[in-house]
């Protein structure tokens, strides 16, 4: 018997910690950039006043359909990537929000549904798209990509040291007239190309991660979403990001670190630096009890930052320099 889409449950990682860090103005407007199965969204709505509002984005049409069962006038669901949140909100007259939450990666229902093609645990069509209504599937990408591109994707997005060998094996399989169409076929080819295995890890893990990230443009959309957040957050607004692998976390960490520094204007070296736009508030990992209850929480890293409220004109000149750029 095939399970329906609502049969796959999702245990929300760092639920209490994320909502506690995010919601600091009950009357405010908030963005949930990755609605999923609505775990964070429900908890956010529970913290909001009747005047509060939550705009939730998700690329997955299945998530949006299931979210429509949440009968709450304060919730607006948007079938789109959070990368375009600024443009979507502008269409609704919203130019500032009090917080943005991004819970990155693939959800448990997506992994556990064989039809989605995210997991090598099932032999199913090799899809991997988070938005099944558009875009190229992983199978279609493998059918056209040359060895150089395959190597680059598997090395950069999967951090696979045998990327060259895996790419060669994939191209050889295709040239032999047997296109890869299922997750099982892909896992079999990768297993033959990866010479040593990390303890407890399937040899196809890194290649599957790489293809999923590439097909969904996950890292590019993360960078776009972070930039949009910076423009949307009101003073003292919160950015909360939960990452599940080092590639994501590295981007988030670098972004917060960069925006937390005062930045000199290279065109006017004696002018006061542009003040920092964010203030890092902390980094949180799942506790032992949560990891024991939900092993997928083991790799989760939550970073929190706050939008600063220092206007440029009010910045005090650096010692020894005047506002006009001359030494004093």
| Cα Rg of the chain, angstroms | 22
What local confidence, expressed as pLDDT, does residue 146 receive?
Answer: 97
- Per-residue pLDDT band at 270 (split at 50, 70, 90): low
- Please give the Cα distance from 157 to 59 (Å, whole number): 20
- The DSSP symbol for 323 reads T
Enumerate residues 6+ apart whose C-beta is below 8 A from 158: 206, 207, 208, 209, 210, 211, 213
Share of the chain above pLDDT 70, in %: 89
Residue 57: which of 189, 229, 183, 280 has the closest Cα?
229
**Domains of the chain (ranges, CATH numbers):** 5-108+218-314 (3.40.50.150), 132-215 (1.10.150.170)
- pLDDT tens digits, 77-116: 999 999 999 999 999 999 999 999 999 988 878 887 888 9
3-state SS class at 27: coil
Do 124 and 171 contact (CB within 8 A), yes or no?
Answer: no
- Please give the Cα distance from 163 to 165 (Å, whole number): 5
- Per-residue pLDDT band at 195 (split at 50, 70, 90): confident
Residue 162: which of 126, 215, 206 has the closest Cα?
206
DSSP H or E stretch at residue 279: strand 278-285
* pTM score: 0.87
């Amino acid at each position: 018997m095939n399970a329906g889409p609502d049969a796959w449950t999702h245990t929300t990682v760092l639920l209490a910690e994320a909502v506690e860090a995010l919601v600091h103005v009950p009357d405010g407007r908030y963005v949930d950039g990755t609605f999923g199965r609505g775990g964070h969204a429900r908890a956010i709505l529970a913290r909001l006043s009747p005047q509060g509002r939550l705009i939730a984005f998700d690329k997955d049409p299945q998530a949006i359909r299931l979210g429509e069962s949440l009968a709450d006038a304060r919730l607006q669901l948007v079938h789109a990537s959070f990368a375009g949140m600024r443009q979507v909100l502008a269409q609704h007259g919203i130019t500032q929000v009090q917080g943005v939450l991004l819970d990155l990666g693939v959800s448990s229902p997506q992994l556990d549904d064989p039809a989605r093609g995210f997991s090598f645990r099932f032999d199913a069509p090799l899809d991997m798209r988070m938005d099944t209504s558009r875009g190229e599937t992983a199978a279609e990408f493998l059918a056209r990509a040359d060895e150089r591109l395959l190597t680059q994707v598997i090395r950069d997005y999967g951090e696979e040291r045998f990327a060259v060998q895996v790419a060669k094996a994939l191209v050889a399989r295709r040239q032999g007239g047997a296109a890869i169409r299922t997750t099982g076929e892909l896992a079999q080819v990768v297993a033959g190309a990866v010479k040593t295995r990390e303890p407890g890890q399937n040899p196809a893990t890194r290649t599957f991660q790489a293809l999923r990230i590439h097909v969904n443009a996950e890292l590019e959309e993360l960078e776009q979403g972070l930039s949009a957040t910076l423009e949307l957050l009101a003073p003292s607004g919160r950015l909360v990001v939960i990452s599940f692998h080092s590639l994501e976390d590295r981007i988030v960490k670098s972004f917060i670190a960069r925006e937390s520094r005062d930045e000199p204007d290279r065109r006017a070296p004696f002018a006061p630096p542009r003040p920092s736009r964010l203030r890092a508030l902390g980094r949180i990992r799942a506790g032992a009890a949560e990891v024991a209850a939900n092993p997928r929480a083991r790799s989760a890293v939550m970073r929190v930052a706050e939008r600063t409220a220092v206007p440029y004109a009010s910045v005090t000149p650096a010692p020894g320099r005047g506002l006009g750029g001359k030494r004093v």
